[in-house]
Structure 1
Amino acid sequence: MDEYGQLTFDLFNDTQQVAQPTELPLLEASIKKAQADMELFALDTEDKQAKQMYSWCANQMKQVHELVSPYTKSN
């Protein structure tokens, strides 16, 4: 078990394919998608206040991604 709670087993069978965990890469992709969506919404609106809000949200998601990305990268 690693420091992030991921449990790994050595099957002693190098020919057997084992599925890689997908939760963390999916989390990272979801965070990046949310950031991209906010950036698109900011570009799509003419409302100045909404544009500021979407830009702020996109920036917040960027910061979240920077914080969690060390934990979501595969080894």
Structure 2
Amino acid sequence: MHGALSNDPEVVIGDEPTGNVDTETGNTIMDILEGLNKEGRTVIVVTHDAEIAARAGRTKRMRDGWVLD
């Protein structure tokens, strides 16, 4: 994650960024992503975890390749 952020991107995309880490590390990752968003960056997170999705300011759901809402 550090390497991806070193270029100071305007858009950050995380595909299951908390998928293979413990809860504490996952929360730290989400805190970092939320901080980036508060700085004005666009943050897109793909997740299957409802708790992680609940932390988002806006969500979109997909099923079978279709955006549901």
TM-score, structure 2 as length reference: 0.38
User: Structure 1 or 2: larger strand share?
Assistant: 2
TM-score, structure 1 as length reference: 0.36
